[in-house]
Amino acid sequence: MVKVVICGAAGGIGQPLSLLLKQSDYITHLALYDVVNAPGVAADLSHINTVVIPAGVPRKPGMTRDDLFKINAGIIRDLSEGIVKNCPGAFILVISNPVNSTVPIVAEVLKRHGAFDPRRVFGISTLDVVRSSRFVYELDNSIDPRSTRVTVIGGHSGVTIVPVLSQIPGQKFTKEQLDLLTHRIQYGGDEVVKAKDGAGSATLSMAYAGARFTSAILEATVAGKTGLVESTYVNLHADEESTAAFRAKTQLEYFAQDVEFGREGVSKIRPLPELSAYEQTLLDAAIPELKVNITKGTAFITDAS
Ligand code: NAD
Ligand code: LMR
């Protein structure tokens, strides 16, 4: 029995994501939950081993992801309470923005109930990886965007998105190309928000990315496949040993990095790839903003009376 629930299933992401996951051979029961258009699903909230959360409001032009915190923080807190009560051991995959802060909110709610396993909570930053492959391909048609996976580290907003383009085999981008690519990857979400002109943010590409990430988790946790790797935003305590030096140096508790999956979720957080001087500068800019985002999410729960 492999049960997956989508919280926010009636939304722009939730609908196509549900359709894609409906085709998964690993899922025996797909439960669709939303505050609108999906009555009666509360009874489904048991025996669930994976919860994907695309619930909450998307951006409008001129907004940052952090501007969504005011509304989405409470939604994520309440959904996390529901998860703790109904399926405390579930793998939780968070799409709702701002991911840099919503993942710490989930973790703090679970901690309050003594139910936090850092190997089981993920911020889905796969869209940054998908965009990276696509944008690199647009610059260099000789690479295959399906098989060229770019590691993206940091977080999921603006300067916290750090694509490690130096690791693409055979690539020698000029400074100008690096500036262009990096900016497109960091602000790819804004391109969609602007184009949709008030009607929301990325939905179809996100559903694709969300389905890809969910499938990887299911393949590892349900089917026991090994060697699956995705960049994802996690609590670094999911792998104490591999991250000890990085945590001590940066004081970060959450970070997006290449993660290997196993039966229990995170099996290993890979060490940082070797960064070019260009990428090190990007990372240096990402760290202070990540800290602010993480503290904001954590404090939303710990400072609440
Ligand atoms: P949307 O408004 O189309 O859909 C959101 C859905 O969530 C709606 O159907 C709404 O009824 C539902 N919802 C609200 N509160 C809920 C609750 N308490 N329980 C269950 N459902 C609830 O928005 P969308 O375009 O699908 O985007 C959803 C979120 O995903 C936004 O926060 C957006 O910023 C984020 N997003 C993240 C990424 C990423 O890369 N991680 C990419 C795109 C969008
Ligand atoms: C994205 O990267 O497309 C999402 O995070 C949505 C957004 O607000 O840009």
Ligand 1 center to 15 CA (angstroms)? 10
Q: Determine the pLDDT at residue 32.
A: 87
pLDDT exceeds cutoff 70 at 292: yes
Q: What is the mean pLDDT of residues 267-271?
A: 97
pLDDT exceeds cutoff 80 at 240: yes
Nearest-angstrom CA–CA distance, 68 and 158: 14
Q: Determine the pLDDT at residue 41.
A: 41
The secondary structure of residue 110, as a DSSP letter, is H
Do β-strands 265-269 and 254-262 pair in parallel, antiparallel, or remain unpaired?
antiparallel
Do β-strands 50-53 and 3-7 pair in parallel, antiparallel, or remain unpaired?
parallel
Of 286, 258, 252, the C-alpha closest to 270 is 258
Q: Which ligand is nearest the CA of 123, by number?
A: 1
Nearest-angstrom CA–CA distance, 211 and 207: 6
Assigned token pair, 97: 């923005």
Nearest-angstrom CA–CA distance, 218 and 225: 9
Burial 195-217 (b: 16+ CB within 10 A, else e): ebeeebbbbebbbbbbbbbbbbb
99 CB within 6 A, ligand 2: no
For the chain, give percent helix, strand, coil, nearest 5: 50, 15, 35
Q: What is the mean pLDDT of residues 173-192?
A: 97
Ligand 1 center to 10 CA (angstroms)? 9
* CA-closest residue to ligand 1 atom 38: 95
* CA-closest residue to ligand 1 atom 43: 202
Q: Determine the pLDDT at residue 145.
A: 85
Nearest-angstrom CA–CA distance, 131 and 134: 5
Q: Determine the pLDDT at residue 48.
A: 67
pLDDT exceeds cutoff 50 at 256: yes
* CA-closest residue to ligand 1 atom 24: 12
Q: Which ligand is nearest the CA of 188, by number?
A: 2
Atom of ligand 1 nearest to the CA of 126: 40
Nearest-angstrom CA–CA distance, 120 and 118: 5
Q: Determine the pLDDT at residue 170.
A: 85
Residue 146 banded pLDDT, cuts 50, 70, 90: confident
**Cβ < 6 Å from ligand 1: which residues?**
7-8, 10-14, 33-36, 54-59, 68, 72, 75, 78-79, 95-97, 99, 124, 127, 156, 200-203, 206
Catalytic residues: 156
Nearest-angstrom CA–CA distance, 111 and 105: 10
Atom of ligand 2 nearest to the CA of 128: 2
pLDDT exceeds cutoff 60 at 21: yes
DSSP track, 69-104: HHHHHHHHHHHHHHHHHH-TT-EEEE-SS-HHHHHH
Nearest-angstrom CA–CA distance, 107 and 264: 16
pLDDT tens digits, 23-45: 899 999 998 889 875 444 444 54
* CA-closest residue to ligand 1 atom 20: 34
Q: Determine the pLDDT at residue 71.
A: 97
Nearest-angstrom CA–CA distance, 270 and 251: 18
* 233 and 254 Cβ atoms separated by less than 8 Å: yes
Indicate the range of 100-114, 115-129, 144-158, 225-239 predicted with least confidence.
144-158
* 297 and 103 Cβ atoms separated by less than 8 Å: yes
Of 235, 24, 203, the C-alpha closest to 127 is 203
Mean pLDDT across the chain:
94
Assigned token pair, 55: 């619930």
User: Higher model confidence: residue 75 or residue 50?
Assistant: 75
Q: Which residues pair with 266 in a beta bridge?
A: 261
Q: Determine the pLDDT at residue 39.
A: 45
ipTM for the complex shown: 0.99
3 CB within 6 A, ligand 2: no
Q: What is the mean pLDDT of residues 203-215?
A: 97
Q: Determine the pLDDT at residue 305.
A: 63
Q: Which of 59, 71, 183 to mutate to test the pocket of ligand 2 (most atoms within 8 A of CB)?
A: 59
Of 201, 20, 219, the C-alpha closest to 127 is 201
- In terms of Cβ atoms closer than 10 Å to its own Cβ (0-12, 13-18, 19+), residue 96 is buried
* CA-closest residue to ligand 2 atom 9: 189
202 CB within 6 A, ligand 2: yes
